[in-house]
């Protein structure tokens, strides 16, 4: 696990730079996309690279982490719409290249299995962008999630519904209770995981993620068992890290050729 502490714009450039490097080398790469406010600056930087430097997504494929159950197809907070609005609709992905769990399926269990099959058929995710919830959730894997879980139906915690109420006019009653989410084992199967977290509200979750014991109580801690994770955090999110000075000096001494 590499931890890099930097200003939010620098973190966005690092994450977008890793995706750019991957796509220049492998134009048909499979990207894993996340909602939430943390990755937005990364998506803006990718759009900038698309417009200014011709970075193309025309042959790439993408899989979203999660989706609310039951939001109408045109609801602005439906995660497939959020990702399209924030990122994929602003670049040149081919029609049908961006996938998400189907929160409107008649048979939600079958939709979850089909989603796992689709990721596998695409050859797995090459680079997965993730955020982290204040309770340590990754995608929508809430505390208590099986560390071996696959895409499935989950019930959101009151904490997550309260955190996300800001996207629903501040009204928690409008936030769905149910979601479909990639499981922790699904996320762990990605070849490179890039986690972005900013702001003091994430400090406890980031401390547990990097320095806590691996536990279903803080689902993100499973990432400690992944061989290639990059954790990008600003000063606020890093404010509870005991090893912050070590991470700062490690990054300052990092050879430029190493990349992420």
Which pair of structure tokens corresponds to residue 151? 């895409």
Applying the rule CB under 6 A, the residues between 43 and 102 that interact with ligand GLP are 65-66
The β-bridge partners of 232 are: 4, 196
**Sign of the dihedral defined by the CA atoms of residues 119, 152, 85, 199, in that order:** negative
Residue 218 in contact with ligand GLP, rule: CB under 6 A: no
Residue 208 in contact with ligand GLP, rule: CB under 6 A: no
Applying the rule CB under 6 A, the residues between 145 and 164 that interact with ligand GLP are 160, 164
State which of residues 132, 194, 220, 233 lies at the interface with ligand GLP (CB under 6 A). Answer: 132
By C-beta, is 34 or 190 nearer to ligand GLP? 34
State which of residues 93, 140, 218, 247 lies at the interface with ligand GLP (CB under 6 A). Answer: 140
Query: Contact, 94 vs 28, CB < 8 A?
Result: no
Nearest approach in angstroms of CB 34 to ligand GLP is 5
CA gap 36, 126 in Å, rounded: 20
For residue 175, the number of C-alpha atoms closer than 13 Å in the C-beta half-sphere is 18
Contact stretch for ligand GLP (CB under 6 A) within 44-52, 126-134, 145-153, 241-249: 126-134
Which pair of structure tokens corresponds to residue 49? 């690279």
Query: Contact, 100 vs 114, CB < 8 A?
Result: no
Residue 133 in contact with ligand GLP, rule: CB under 6 A: yes
Task: Spell out a b/e string for 212-247, using b for 16 or more CB atoms within 10 Å of the CB, else e.
Answer: beeebebbbbbbeebeebbbbbbebbbbbbeebeeb
Residues acting as catalytic residues: 66, 135, 137, 142
Nearest approach in angstroms of CB 39 to ligand GLP is 7
State which of residues 35, 64, 81, 208 lies at the interface with ligand GLP (CB under 6 A). Answer: 35
Binding site for ligand GLP (CB under 6 A): 34-38, 65-66, 131-133, 139-140, 160, 164
């Amino acid at each position: 696990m590499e931890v890099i502490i930097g200003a939010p714009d620098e973190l966005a450039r690092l994450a977008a730079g890793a995706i750019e490097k991957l796509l220049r080398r492998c134009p048909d790469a499979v990207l894993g996309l996340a909602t939430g406010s943390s990755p937005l600056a990364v998506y803006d930087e990718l759009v900038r690279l698309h417009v200014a430097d011709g970075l193309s997504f025309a042959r790439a494929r993408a899989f979203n982490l999660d989706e609310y159950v039951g939001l109408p197809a045109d609801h602005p907070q439906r995660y497939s719409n959020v990702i399209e609005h924030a990122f994929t609709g602003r670049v040149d992905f081919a029609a049908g290249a961006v996938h998400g769990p189907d929160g409107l399926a008649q048979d939600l269990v079958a939709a979850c299995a089909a989603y796992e099959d689709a990721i596998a058929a695409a050859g797995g995710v090459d680079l997965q962008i993730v955020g982290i919830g204040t309770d340590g959730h990754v995608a929508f894997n809430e505390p208590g999630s099986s560390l071996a879980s696959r895409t499935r139906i989950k019930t959101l915690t009151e904490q997550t519904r309260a955190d996300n109420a800001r996207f629903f006019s501040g009204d928690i009653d409008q936030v769905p209770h149910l979601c479909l989410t990639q499981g922790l084992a699904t996320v762990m199967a990605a070849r490179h995981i890039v986690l972005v977290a900013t702001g003091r509200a994430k400090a406890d979750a980031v401390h547990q993620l990097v320095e806590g014991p691996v536990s279903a109580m803080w689902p993100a801690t499973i990432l400690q068992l992944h061989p290639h994770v990059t954790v990008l955090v600003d000063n606020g999110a890093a404010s509870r890290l005991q090893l912050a000075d070590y991470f700062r000096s490690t990054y300052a001494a990092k050879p430029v050729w190493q990349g992420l």
